[in-house]
Chain A
Amino acid sequence: MWAPQQEKESVEVNDRSYDERVCDVLIIGAGGAGLRAAIESHDRGAKTLVVCKSLLGKAHTVMAEGGIAAALGNVDPKDSWEVHFSDTIVEGQHLSNWRIVEIFAKEAIERVYELERYGAVFDRTPAGKISQRPFGAHTYRRLCNIGDRTGLELIRTLQDQVVARGVPFMDEVMTTCLFRDPKTGRAAGALGIDIKTGKLLLFRARAIIIATGGSGRVYQVTSNSYESTGDGIGMAYRAGAELMDMEMIQFHPTGMIYPPGVRGMLVTEAVRGEGGILTNSEGERFMSKYDPKRMELSARDVVARSIYTEIMAGRGSKGGGVYLDISHKGADHIKKKLPSMYDQFLAFADIDITKDKMEVAPTVHYQMGGIRVDPETAESSVKGLYAAGEVASGLHGANRLGGNSLSDILVFGKRAGDAAAKSATAVDLPSVDSKEVEKEISRVLSPFSSTGSANPFHIKEEIASNMWAHVGIVRNAVDLEAGLVEIERLRKDAKGLKAVGPRAYNQSWTDSLQVLDMLLICEAMIRSALERKESRGAHTRSDFPAKDPKWLVNIITVQEDGKMVRRTVPVSTPPQELQRLIKEDD
């Protein structure tokens, strides 16, 4: 089993050779969406290959804490998919695609039971059913959970299923570019780097699913993992796919602020779900001013803005956040329901949350926008190219409800896997233009031959601080324009990006390539944010503070003749029978 140290094949830095891998369905990304897609595609008989940037089982899904939202009605029998549908539409500020939300709310229930049949172990009600906890802006107790470790359970369960089925996967492979058939325009393949060795790989497939997650790392204060750099969005955009709602970035209300090295680390909403109370420096339970009915369990955009407002008004905590207190629930309850939070504060901040208050402030958490997809099949505007999970758009609108992302990845991971496998059997293997491959290889290897000296780690830091400073919770035209100027400056710097050292496991190389897509994504985010001249959900403009019905549109970003262009499309109105389900709170 444990092979002794073997001599690794060394790759010269300018080696242009590549290995070719052919499959029916190529899945890029192995978080919940990618793994669920892999199971479906494999079970439908398609020759499936999964590639992912980190080690198998380390994707950002592992960080999800609170639970999976699905209207099982185990704790509140009045809950139903119809109420879940309404909550999602209303809190998404009517920017979601109604059909995507309908499919989601209906199918989430079966996906949870299916996950249990795959071997996931959820917390139980006294009657032995899956337990459900309350969460922000969900009408009923709806989040199926495993303490505050729901994402770990989800990814491990799906990973075990993939391994047991023998679905081929290659971990620590970073894809850099998608290729399209020169005649039909269908997605045809991808270029990849085997990070472990530095060797190049050419993937050819009949269908491709992108499940690479979001791009939270473009912000300085973020709960996102290292790998959340939005490569999938960048690749899809460069291949001509439409992006949507790129201005919609979720700021989670509660991230750690101290010590500096862990700033942004997530403090799960489950703390408030379990009864946690937010106070300012005057000891005031300030949510009573902003949402007296729902208090701490208001929608994430509302709580994040409220905390921001308190801090800006000088009523922040010592460390520059606000206080979050759960100690009144008692040590036993806290250690059982929030074990990770207890460990996290003790290990990193020397704070015992069973006795003391936490200090928290908003942190970038989720990207509502992304690749525009068809509701039924998750296919993008490029034929044969599918997207599922955080990388896709249309479900969460202007604000995502907690717990909806885990059901999202199960529902649309499955749908993407199904549709991709079906379409793969109906087409011949698309061709890849070898000139394009050679061009991409030159681009990918250019950081090694660069005569510049730009450091990718520094540029990443500059991108992140620029976005935090200019494209934050509350935006305005002046800041956004300044942010755009800075992105243009950094793009010039990025021309001199330099990779140092050999090809194997070279982060100065892979990070250099990530920087280029991060700059693209930032540009799309800022330009969309400038365009939306209103405040809606997570997008708050101090120069346009009101919500404007004129802006019931989705902003589409697409590349045309090498230029980034935008157009708006009206949000489609749900049919009468669904319209009737929507219950406005205010």
Chain B
Amino acid sequence: METHASAQPDQRKTIRLRILRGTGERTSSPHYDTFEVPREEGMVVLNAVHYIQSHLDPSLSIRWNCKAGRCGSCSAEINGRPQLMCKTRVDSIEGEITIEPMQAFPRLKDLVTDVTANWKVAATIPPFTPKANAGDIYTFYQADVDRSREFRRCIECFLCMDVCHVIREHEADYMGPRWVVKAASLDMHPMDGLNRSKFMKDAGGLGYCNITKCCQEICPEHIVITDDAIIPEKERVVDRHYDPILWVYRRLKGGATAGETK
């Protein structure tokens, strides 16, 4: 372990940070470096990490962009909890601060992980498809907007994917909370005409989620992921595929099977 710290730091004036370092290469053995950073009023963890990069170790890699909690780039595990570095106040943490990269994703370097697998999942979700009678200029109401607004707040920080134990256990089989939220935002779009329940059941692996609600506890946008997105999506799957009365009704009407229009 390398220490960039003076012998007797004053914790009122400085903060001690431990950062997990290393690359994704097999030859690289991850290790912690410790840094001592001057404390500033109202400081967030990202400010402290910037100080390290600028003054103590320019080789430190971090991913960040807006520094205002809007873009979702600076996701990390701070004292074990998945959080945005730009929104985590230093004064909310007692004692030493340990920062590690998100563990659900392959590490690129230091605090930066490779999140590109997300785009592969995104590409499989049946996109917004307007209803046949939608017209060129839509008419719908604020109540319709409010129904899907929560899901449209997602900043794609992927912290929910990081905290999800279902992904860790089933990897390829479950699409993960971010993408259930995406599907919910499309399903609750007032002008969308598609039924995604077969996709959600089969390719999406929605049944794997056992609603432990870890994702909704850590969402920096306070999206109530499990209660508002995952459970209603599960209910849609049940209605469409497992409800015997609706099944008989659809057979008699000769109506739609899963996968096309609503």
Q: Report which A residues bind B (CB closer than 8 A).
A: 1-8, 10, 54-58, 60, 62-63, 113, 116-119, 121-124, 126-129, 131, 146-147, 149, 152-153, 156, 160-161, 163-164, 166, 171, 196, 225-227, 258-262, 265-266, 340, 343-344, 347-349, 455-458, 461, 500-502, 504-508
B65 touches A54 (CB 8 A): yes
A7 touches B59 (CB 8 A): no
* Known contacts A261-B47, A455-B58, A457-B53, A504 near B145 by CB under 8 Å: no
Say whether B262 faces chain A, with CB atoms less than 8 Å apart.
no
**Listed stretches B2-10, B11-19, B120-128, B234-242; interface member:** B120-128
Find the A residue at minimum CB distance from B48. Answer: A261
Interface centre among B108, B109, B136 (most CB of A within 10 A): B109
* Known contacts A60-B66, A124-B141, A7 near B123 by CB under 8 Å: no
Say whether B67 faces chain A, with CB atoms less than 8 Å apart.
yes
Residues of B within 8 A of A146 (CB): 149, 152
Question: What are 17 inter-chain pairs, A to B, with CB distance below 8 A?
Answer: A1-B120, A2-B167, A5-B106, A7-B26, A8-B23, A55-B63, A56-B119, A60-B65, A60-B66, A63-B66, A160-B127, A259-B40, A261-B42, A261-B47, A266-B68, A348-B44, A507-B62
Q: Chain A at the B interface: mostly helix, strand, loop or mixed? A: loop
Residues of B within 8 A of A163 (CB): 119, 122-123, 127
Distance (whole angstroms) from the CB of A132 to the closest CB of chain B: 14
B42 touches A1 (CB 8 A): no
Instruction: Return the contact of A164 from the options B67, B104, B127 (Cβ within 8 A).
Output: B127
Interface size on B, residues (CB 8 A): 76
Say whether B140 faces chain A, with CB atoms less than 8 Å apart.
yes
A506 touches B61 (CB 8 A): yes
A6 touches B106 (CB 8 A): yes
Residues of B within 8 A of A119 (CB): 127-128, 186, 189, 192
* Known contacts A3-B117, A54-B73, A225-B71, A261 near B64 by CB under 8 Å: no
Q: Report which B residues bind A (CB closer than 8 A).
A: 23-27, 40-44, 47, 53-54, 58-59, 61-73, 87, 89, 104-110, 112, 114-117, 119-123, 127-128, 130, 134, 136-142, 144-145, 148-149, 152-156, 167, 171-172, 175-176, 186, 189-190, 192
Q: Chain B at the A interface: mostly helix, strand, loop or mixed? A: loop
Residues of B within 8 A of A121 (CB): 145, 148-149, 152, 189-190
Provide the bound-state CA to CA distance between A129 and B152, in Å. Answer: 19
* Known contacts A5-B24, A55-B63, A62-B70, A505 near B139 by CB under 8 Å: no
Residues of B within 8 A of A344 (CB): 68-69
Given contacts A166-B123, A507-B53, 9 further A-B contacts (CB under 8 A): A7-B26, A119-B128, A121-B189, A124-B140, A163-B127, A262-B44, A348-B89, A457-B54, A508-B58
* Known contacts A57-B156, A128-B139, A261-B40, A62 near B66 by CB under 8 Å: yes
B68 touches A265 (CB 8 A): yes
Provide the bound-state CA to CA distance between A508 and B211, in Å. Answer: 43
Residues of A within 8 A of B27 (CB): 10
B70 touches A507 (CB 8 A): no
Provide the bound-state CA to CA distance between A226 and B155, in Å. Answer: 17
